[in-house]
Structure 1
Amino acid sequence: MSIFPNAAAATSTLASPAASGTSAAGVPNYEAVRRAQELAARMGFRQDPQFAPLINMFPGQMVPDVTIPQKPTKAPVLRLDAQGREIDEHGNVVNVTKPSNLSTLKVNINKQKKDAFEILKPVLDVDPDSNPHFDPRMGVNKTKLLRPKRNNFLFVEEGKWSKDAETIKLKSQFGEAQAKEQKAKQAQLAKAKAAPDINPNLIEITERVVIKEKLKDPIPEIEWWDLPLLQSGNYGDIADGSIDEDKLKMEKITFYVEHPRPIEPPAEPAPPPPQPLKLTKQEQKKLRTQRRIAKEKDRQEMIRQGVIEPPKPKVKISNLMKVLGAEATQDPTRLEKEIRSAAAEREQAHIDRNIARKLTPAELREKKERKLFDDPNTVETLVSLYRINDLSHPKARFRVDVNAQENRLTGCAVISDGMSIVVVEGGSKSIKRYGKLMLRRINWSDVSKENEENDESDDDKPVNKCVLVWQGSVAKPSFNRFSVHDCITEAAARKVFVDAGVPHYWDQAVNYVDDGAV
C-alpha cells in the first residue's frame, strides 16, 4: 500500500516548497516539479483528476498518461504532367524507383553470388615479343593447367573385384602381412602366365648381359687449362714448341698455383669383406662364458676403483642372521620389513624386464610365420606328387584340402574311378609337413569308403595306400590355389593337368610302379 494517495499528492510531497515548489521569491520552480512528476510516474502513482488543472499549469511537463492529440495528415495527391510523369506541387518531375524483387532464399542468393563471381582464366597464348615482361621460366604450362578431356570409357578389368575381395578376406583372416604376400604371389603368377610356356623341368639360364662401354669424350682442339692463356684461343700461334709473349695473356700468369679438382680414376668395386668363421654350438657356448667372465671382472675392477657404486647386499629372510649378524637382533621387525620390501622391489624389476622383452602380438605373429613358412622371396618352388588308390572318403578329402590351404600350398587333388592324384607346390617346410600328413598321419586303410559301406572285404582289391611318386623343384608354380576335382573318366582327369600346363604329372602317376607292392 502506497503512502501517497495519488500522483498529485506524491508530486506535492516530493517537490516541497523549499526544494522545488516555489523559490524564496514565490516564483514556481518548474525544473523541480518536472523531476518530481517523472519520479512519481516511474514509481507507479496514478493521476488524480482533481489536481489536473494544477499539474497542467506547468509548461514542458512530461507525464506519460497525458496524450497530446495530433493533427490529421493530408492524403497524398497524385499529380501528372502531359506526358504522364509524376510531378510534385512545384511542377518538378519525381523520379520513382521501382522496387526490386529481392529473393531471401539461400539457393537464389548463392546463385547470384556465383553469377557475380568471375574467374579469370590464365592467358595461355603469350607472345614473348609483344610482352616485354614475359619470363619463359615463369610461363604458363598448358599440360599442367589444362587437364585433357577423356573421350573414352574406363572399364574395370576382369577379376578386379574378386582380387579385392580375396585381399580383404586374407586381411581379416591372417593379417596385413599375409595379404601383401598373397598380392605379391598373384603378381608373380600373372607375370609367369604372360611369359611363354616352357618345360618346368628345364633349368632356366639368364640372358647374357652385355655391358656397353662408355664412349670417350672427343679430343678438344685446345685444353681447358691453356684456353685462358692464349690470345687467339687455339694452338695455331705455337711454332716449334715456342710462342711469343705478345700472343699470351701475361696478366693471367701469376705466382699462384692452381690445383684442379681431383677426380677419382674409374676402377672396379672393392671386394666384399671376409665372412666370419662359423662356430659350433660348443664353441659359441665357450666364447659366451669367456665374455661374461671378462665383463664381470671389469665391473669388479671399476667397483674397486670407486667409479661405480657396489651393489646392495642381497639380504633374504633365510640369510638374515648370516649377513647382518648382531644388527639383526637390535630391531628385527624393522629389518624384516626392509628385507621384504627390497625382495618385492627385485621381483617387480624382474617382471618389468620380462615385460619389456616380451614381443608384441604383431611380432609374435611374424615370428610364428617365419617359423612355419619359408621366406616368400625364395625363387625355388618344390613340388610333391602323390598317388592314392581311393580318396573318395569325405574325412580324407577334408584333411587333404584343409591342410594344403593351412600350409599355403597350391596344387590340386584329382579324384577318378581308378586312382586319385594329389599335387602340391610350395616351400620346403610346408612340403615337409604335408608329406608327413600324407605318408604317416593318415591311415588310408581305415578311411576307405568301401570298408565302411561293405563289411565283406574283397580279397582281389589292393589295400588303400598313398605313395610319393615324385618330388622336385620347378622354376614357377603351375596352379593359383589348391582345389579338388571329381572326374568320372581318366580323360577328364588328365584335362585338369593339361589346362594347368603339366600333363606329364598325370602320365608319371599312371606309369608309376611301386617297388614295395605285393
Structure 2
Amino acid sequence: MAEKRPHPDGHGPNGDTKRVKTSEEKLAEARAKAAEIAARFAKKRAEGPNGASRTATPPPAPPAAAAEAAARLEAVKARMAAMKAKSNPDAKPAAPDSTVPKFPTTKGNRLSEDPKLEAKPSFGAPKPQKPQDEELENPYFDPKSAGQVRGRVPRAIVFNEHGKYLDQASKLRAQSRLEQIKKMLALQARRAGLDENSERGFLVQPPPDVEWWDEGILSEKTYDCIEQPDKVKIDSDDSIITIYVQHPPLLKAPQDSRLVEAKPMYLTVKEQQKLRRMRRAADLKEHQAKIRLGLEPPPPPKVKRGNMMRVMGEQAIADPTAVEMLVESQIQQRHDDHVESNQERKLTKEQQHAKLAQNQAKDAQKGLYLCVFKINTLAYGKHRYQLDQNAKQLALSGITIFNPDLNLVIVEGGSYSIAKMKKLMLQRIHWQENAPPTDIQAEKQARDPRWMQSVDEQGNVKDHSSNKCILIFEGEVKQNSFRKWGSKMCETAGEARELLARSKLDSLWALAKSMQ
C-alpha cells in the first residue's frame, strides 16, 4: 500500500512539522501585496470623487507567481510616475523604490485608505496652492469644512420677571410727581417771599392784633377793649353766640341710591337653632371673661332641688328645712323675674297694630299681586263676615260684587297677605255650610233681596251643597286699582261691568262668566 502524502503546512494528523518560508519567498509575497495595494490606490485615483472612471484601465489580475508580480509592480510604478508627472509637471520624479512601504501590510492599508486632514494655516500666512487635479475632481469641495467645525452654541432665552417694567414705570411716575411737588412748593415760597436763601424765610411773623375768630365779637380791631363790656358782643342781641348749635345736614351719597340691597338669607329651623346656640355661647364667654377681669360681680350660685345638698354643704346638713325654704324662694324668684321680663317685652295693642301695619306696608312695597275669585252664592252671612274681616285685617284693597248669577271677589295686596287670603278662600271656608240667621242678623237682612238671604220664602234653609269657590285669575300688577276694601250689590250684569270698567277690569266679568 502506498504511503500517504504529508498534509501541507504541517497540520496533518501525523503531526508533520511546519515548513519554514525562505527569505526569497517572503520578499516575493511582500512585493505582491505592495503591488496589489498600489493598484487599488491607483484605481481610486482614476475613478475620481463621484466614482466615475476617467481611464479604461482594467483592474490588475491577481499574480500567479513571483515573476509576474514583479513585472506588474514595475509597470504600476511607471504608470504612477507618469500620472504624477502629468498632474504636476514641476515635481521631480520619485525614486523607484519610494512606493514600497516600509511597514506592515495591514497598517499600510489602513493608513492609505484614511484621508489626511490638512493643517489649518495660521492667520496672515500665505495659503498653499491647491493641486489642479483636486480642483478638477471636485469643484464643490470647501477646504474649510475639512477641519473640525465648532458647534454653534444657542443663546439662552432670558425672560423678564413679572412686574419689572411696572415697577420701573411706578418709580418714574413717583419721581416726576415729587419733582412737580418740589416745583410747586418752590413757586409758592417765592410768591410768599419765604425763599430758603432769603433772610425773610427765617423771620417769625408777629401775631395779629385780633385773631380772626374774635373779630365778630369785638367792636374794635384790638384786644384793648376786652375789659369794656359794652364793646364785647356776647350777651347782646346782635351777637353771633347763641344757644343753638348748628349741625350740618347729613346728605346721602349719590352712589348709595344705586346700591342693590342684598336679600336676607333664609335659614332652616336647625340653622336658626345652631346660630342661637353659637350666639349664646359667645355671650357667655364674654360674660365669664368680664368676671375674671373683675369688671362684673360673679353671679350667686344657682341652687336647685337637685344640687341643694351639694351646694349648701354643711348648712344643708345642719338645718335642711331652712335651706329647703331658701331654695324654694330662689326658684320662685327666678320664675317671677322671667314672667316679669316677658311682660316688659310684650307689645301693647297699639304697638302690635303699628308693627303689623308696618310689616304689611313693607310687604306691599316689594310687589303688588291681584287675585280674582268666583263664588256661586254668598247668601250665608257668616261667609260674608269672614271675607270682610280677613280682608281688612290683611290690609287688602279690592271689592266684592254681589249678583244673583255669580259673586266676584277681587283682592290686591302684598304677597304675604295674598297668600293668606288664598288659603282662606280655597281651604278654610266651607262654602257648603248654611244656617238660618239669628234675630239680629234677620233684622239687618230684612231689606236685602231674597237671593241674598240664607232662607227661602217659606223659611227653609237653602241647599248650598253645590256652592264652591274657584280662582279664575292671579298675577302681579303695577299699581292698585282700588283705594280700599269694599263691597257692592249689582242686580244685573250691566251694573257689574260698569262698576269694573271704572278700574279697567271689566274683562274679569266676562272671564268669570266663561269659567264653569
Q: Which has the larger radius of gyration?
A: 2
Question: Fold match, TM over 0.5?
Answer: no
Identify the structure with the greater helix proportion.
2
TM bin (shorter chain) = 0.3 to 0.5
TM-score, scaled relative to structure 2: 0.40
Given the two structures, how large is their TM-score scaled by the length of structure 1?
Answer: 0.40
